[in-house]
Structure 1
Amino acid sequence: MKLVLSQEQRHLRESVRAFLRAASPLPKARQGYDPQVYARLNGELGLSGLIIPEEYGGAGAGLAELAVALEETGAALLPGPFLTTAFAVFALTATPGEELLSAIAEGRTTATLARHGLEAPDDATVSGTLPQVLSGMDADVLLARAGDVLVAVELSAPGVTRTALETLDLTRGQAKVTLRGAPCQVLGPWPEIDDLVAVALAAEQLGVMRAALDAIVAYAKVRVAFGRYIGSYQGVKHKLADMHCKLEQAESIVRYAAWAADESPGELPEAAALAQAYVGRACFEVARDHLLLFGGIGFTWEHDAHLFYKRAKADEVLLGPPRIHRARLAQLLEL
């Protein structure tokens, strides 16, 4: 088991972090999805093809490397369909969908994934309504479960209606997608990828946690109240220490789950359930407490604290509330 990043993974982390710091700082994240940032992200770093097999034009890396990238995109609150495209790649790799994988690896296509909601396809068309599709307004292709099969639908095709939703997370939108006889491509049986999706989301949540904690620690070192830096008050120090402990535990859980996905698939179900049972709630608690420790300024629209709070809450419930994952973990452990 490897819980420490390799030298190559550390280099990847620094490259992604430096790129996002320059190309997508937090003030820009408020503006939403920028296709030019994605074009550079894929052209300069090749992140869209990171986990795509080499025969389809990707780098052939594992989930451990993807987790490193997702931690940085989470810390930057990167808008747009990077996370959902990773979800789609899990499905396409298991199927596989050669043409779509090549298009994603080349940066020509972004995708989103819907795990429920469509009727079984009929004569190469599909119908149904998906009430909430993550990055549904930004992605080019929808991969969805229709009956027991995986289908691909071009979101610009006839028969497809997308309606932007007003959501909690300002930095990553959702859409209602309605399909009425939309042309589709049946790719194969629906693959079991829920565990991979859970680990990828946990990696993003780890990045949100880390960035939130870094921000409030920096603030505690410069904010003065009653003649003292607030970081010197016992109540603040204890709260920051608690947040740090949650971060350390979350990092170990995510690193283990990503390792299991790559090296020990038999351990993945328990690791993935643990990741969402613990990391989702811990991420929200850290983001909540960091906002509270900022005091009144943290509640203002102009401050970034509420952006982390909202991303943390949206991510926490994206795959269902933590109690669902705790129940699944208990079942897997026969408790």
Structure 2
Amino acid sequence: MSTRPTRSTQPDLLYTEAEDDLRSAVRSLLTGRADTAGLLGRIETGSPYDPALWRSLAAGMGAAGLLVPESLGGQGATHREAAVVLEELGRAVTPAPYLSSAVVATETLLALDSENDAISGLLKGMATGRTVAVLALPLSTAPGADLPGDTAVNAVADATIADVLLVVRADGLYAVERGSATVVPQTALDLTRPLARVSAEDAAGTRVADAASARAAVHRGLLAGAGLLASEQLGIAEWCLEETVRYTRERHQFNRPVGSFQALKHRMAQLWLEVVNARAAARNAADALATGSAEAPLAAAVAQAYCSRVAVHAAEECVQLHAGIGMTWEHPAHLYLKRAKADETALGTPGAHRTTVAELVDLPAP
């Protein structure tokens, strides 16, 4: 029988003043630069990324280096601050390699020897936004899952714009320049987070970890990604709820706002309760990761199992309660639904995370 880990101190789920300031700065940037009309135009071309926006966010604001220590050119902040950034990126469904590079790849490298010149050089470049590194694993890979070795990998997020691919091989983890690998774009449900097939079996690269160290490092990177993905899902759900409430106040039928109809009030009230609970779960996961708590795996699994469902539900309600306009390509509701559905299977399905929760707290698996 395993024993449930306990946290030595009670988590503080409230946002600090610094986190609120960071949120305001990121939201201001995205409001001014990440307009929906421009995004809809870019995804039709197959190139959703805005390089200038990424430079402003990653380098100008320093968001790419939040998890990187100051000694390596980063901000020396915590997962709580990174979670705030992801909330805002989720609210705007911004195409940016933040989760894949600034969180998953960064955490993977931080788990290794930072005295290694190759690793420290990568982290310094990533902290300043000059380098985008991506872990060459399927986006669906959950923490603790078996890792492929020396094979081509499908559904790698953000691989098409990565400078460096972190490739898992049988004998360890390698840093491979994207130009040395074969990266083939794939059709994705979520057009704001492109996927690609990566073949780097024979590509030259620098080994940054042996097999055992690589497994532990990748697990740490995927765990941080899963825990903080919940904050992106929270941002999606918050925008969908706010936009739906706004629209139903303005849309009239029978000379009344449709939002005043009791049936719709109940649906939005239920969604509000779900979003509040999702915020608590996402903040708990971010705080557990930030404090290095032994409960971090449990907190991340709970957050993913719950927030995935809430994001999808919020996006579905947004589409449905906008009625005809919600079904159109011009309205951004479909972007949020596709991101929510894609996030639902990213870094582990809700079912996989519920199984993890059951194992960690000694309950029968669902």
TM-score tier after normalising by the smaller chain length: over 0.9
CA contact (8 A) 2:167 2:200 kept: no
- How many residue pairs get aligned? The number is 326
SS in 1 for 2:329: coil
Structure with the bigger RCO (C-alpha within 8 Å, sep 6+) is 2
Which residue among 54, 61, 70 is the counterpart of 2:86? 70
Deviations 1:121-164 (A, max 9, x none): xxxxxx4201110011111111132236222111112xx11111
Mapping 1:206-285, distance limit 5 Å: 206-285=234-313
Q: Under a length normalisation based on structure 1, what TM-score does the superposition of the two structures give?
A: 0.94
Give yes or no for the alignment of 1:173 onto 2:191. no
Could you say which residue in structure 2 is the equivalent of 1:29?
39
Q: Distance in 2 between matches of 1:148 and 1:330?
A: 32
> Of 55, 59, 65, which residue of structure 2 is paired with 1:43?
59
The 1-side partners of 2:290 and 2:91 are apart by 23
The whole-number CA distance in structure 1 between the counterparts of 2:326 and 2:171 is 46
Q: How many angstroms apart in 2 are the aligned matches of 1:41 and 1:319?
A: 24
Q: Determine the structure 1 residue equivalent to 2:168.
A: 145
CA shift, 1:8, in A, is: 0.5
CA contact (8 A) 1:137 1:175 kept: yes
Cross-structure match for 1:94: 111
Structure 1 stretch 193-202 or stretch 298-307: which is displaced more? 193-202
| Bigger fraction of residues in strand | 1
Q: Does 1:133 align with 2:133?
A: no
Alignment counterpart, residue 179 of structure 2, candidates 153, 156, 168: 156
Confirm whether residue 294 of structure 1 aligns to residue 327 of structure 2: no
CA distance, structure 2, for counterparts of residue 113 and residue 2 of structure 1: 31
Deviation at 1:109, TM superposition (A): 0.5
Contact 1:134–1:175 at 8 Å: present in 2 too? yes
**Unaligned regions of 5+ residues in structure 1, if any?**
120-126
User: Cα distance 1:325–1:166, how it changes in 2: closer, same or farther (>3 A)?
Assistant: same
State whether structure 2 residue 5 is matched by structure 1 residue 6.
no
- Kindly indicate whether the alpha-carbon contact (under 8 Å) linking 1:80 and 1:173 is maintained by their aligned counterparts in 2: no
Partner in structure 2 of residue 123 of structure 1: none
Q: What CA deviation, in whole Å up to 9, does each residue of 1:229-273 have, x standing for no partner? A: 011001111111111111100100111111111225211111011
- The normalised TM-score by structure 2 is 0.86
Following the alignment from structure 2 to structure 1, what is the Cα–Cα distance between the partners of residues 49 and 203? Answer: 25
Counterpart of 2:4? none
TM-aligned CA distance change 1:117 to 1:258, over 3 Å: closer
The 8 Å contact of residues 136 and 159 in structure 2, kept in 1 or not, is answered as no
Corresponding residue of 1:55: 71
CA contact (8 A) 2:99 2:225 kept: no
Partner of 1:124: none
CA distance in 2, matches of 1:180, 1:267: 36
Higher deviation after alignment, 35-44 or 325-334: 35-44
The residue aligned with 1:187 is: 208
Cα deviation for residue 200 of structure 1 reads 1.4
Which residue does the alignment assign to 2:5?
none
| Paired residues of 1:221 and 1:229 also in contact (CA < 8 A) | yes
> % of aligned pairs identical?
38
Question: What residue in structure 1 maps to residue 133 of structure 2?
Answer: 111
CA RMSD for the aligned pairs? 1.4
Name stretches of at least 5 consecutive residues in structure 2 with no aligned partner.
1-10, 43-47, 138-145
User: SS of 2:331's equivalent?
Assistant: coil
Residue 71 of structure 1: how far off its partner (Å)? 0.4
* Cα separation, 2, equivalents of 1:213 and 1:139: 33
Equivalents in 2 of 1:213, 1:152: separation in Å? 41
Deviation at 1:46, TM superposition (A): 0.7
